[in-house]
Amino acid sequence: MDRLLVTGGAGFIGSDFVHYVLANTDKTVTVLDKLTYAGSLASLDGLPSDRFRFVQGDICDAALVTQLFGEHDAVVHYAAESHNDNSLSGPGPFVQTNLVGTYTLLEAARATNVRYHHISTDEVYGDLELDDPERFTEQTPYNPSSPYSSTKAGSDLLVRAWVRSFGVAATISNCSNNYGPRQHVEKFIPRQITNVLDGVRPRLYGDGRNVRDWIHADDHSSAVLRILERGQIGETYLIGADGEKSNRDVVEIILETMGQPTDAYDLVVDRPGHDRRYAIDWSKLREELGWEPQYRDFRAGIADTVAWYRENESWWRPQKAEAEAKYAIAGQ
């Protein structure tokens, strides 16, 4: 598997994976990305030109996708519409990219016999109560809440069907919430960091007690590489790093890191259908593939992330006004 095709490689997690693979292996990487509002060529700066190629295109373009599959040994599929709030205000692109796009890739995998790894989310399992002792496992029934998570769930089921019905050589991973550099400012952690940099108070939805299970993007990337190289065809692996935190806790850590009073935030209108809590049991990945996360200190990871946004304003500034204008319409 020397030649990788990475869809969505100009986005947050896809670009992290591309940097990770090029720094830690001898593989070559082609990125296929449409460059929607969420994609940024600047996220791919500094990569070795002899091992990296960028193709601008849509994963729903069957001719382009089939041609590219034929030129590679494996495909890692990150491209998606990824933001829950956007899926509530306009679900159409989510159905198109997440469902029709995945279908298009699976048909290309079927035609070319190329190894396929599908990137998905823990949100396919719905949510947990705050006091539920259980965490999500690979056996948890699907129960998605939002247009985003339902289209991701549908895409996972397409992959399972193409494995069973057509023998496509696929694996799936469902990961918890990622943080780190190069995440779009519409998302929770970068939104609050860049708000504080702009002198604006962070905004928490509802009562701010919803819990997310945070993992550094580099740990997600190392897990995906491990599954690609050692995972069993047809299997699903959950990826997490025991990072459960309430949104209040996260914002207080950001405020403290940035030298602000820890209560300098506001509660705003809740997200409709807002999932209460996510929590991942990643013991299958540890026991079967020997993977362990490297970033265990969330405060240190947040400090690095704050430093990155401080030092890279030219990367995020062009996104900021548009993202905040969308939130203003929703009263958030």
- Check residue 265 for interaction with ligand NAD (CB under 6 A): no
Sign of the alpha-carbon dihedral angle for 303, 304, 310, 316: negative
Residue of minimal Cβ distance to ligand NAD: 11
Sign of the alpha-carbon dihedral angle for 195, 220, 34, 310: positive
Q: Helix 188-197 crosses helix 313-329 at what angle (to 10 degrees)?
A: 100
For residues 127 and 9, give the distance between their C-alpha atoms in angstroms, rounded to a whole number: 28
Which of ligand NAD, ligand TDX, none does residue 84 bind (CB under 5 to 8 Å by kind)?
A: ligand TDX
How far apart are CB 259 and ligand NAD at their closest, in Å? 27
Which positions from 51 to 90 touch ligand NAD by CB under 6 A, shown as an x/- string? -------xxx-----------------xxxxx--------
Q: Helix 102-112 crosses helix 62-70 at what angle (to 10 degrees)?
A: 40
- Check residue 282 for interaction with ligand NAD (CB under 6 A): no
Which among 1, 103, 114 is positioned nearest to 59, based on CA atoms?
103
Residue 123 annotated as catalytic? yes
Q: Which segments within the chain are labelled E, that is strand?
A: 3-7, 28-33, 52-56, 74-77, 115-121, 170-175, 178-179, 203-205, 211-213, 215-216, 236-239, 244-246, 266-268
Which of ligand TDX, ligand NAD, none does residue 58 bind (CB under 5 to 8 Å by kind)?
A: ligand NAD
Stretch that binds ligand NAD, among 157-165, 171-179, 296-304, 322-330 (CB under 6 A): 171-179
- Check residue 305 for interaction with ligand TDX (CB under 6 A): no
Taking CB under 6 A as the criterion, which residues in 90-119 touch ligand TDX? none
For residues 6 and 222, give the distance between their C-alpha atoms in angstroms, rounded to a whole number: 15
Q: Of residues 34, 77, 212, 320, which one binds ligand TDX by CB under 6 A?
A: 212
H or E segment and range at residue 12? helix 12-24
Task: Report the interface residues with ligand TDX, using CB under 6 A.
Answer: 82-84, 121, 123, 177, 187-188, 191, 203-205, 210, 212, 247, 271
Q: State the catalytic residues.
A: 122-123, 148
Task: Report the interface residues with ligand NAD, using CB under 6 A.
Answer: 7-8, 10-14, 33-36, 38-39, 58-60, 78-82, 97, 101, 119, 121, 152, 175, 177-178, 184
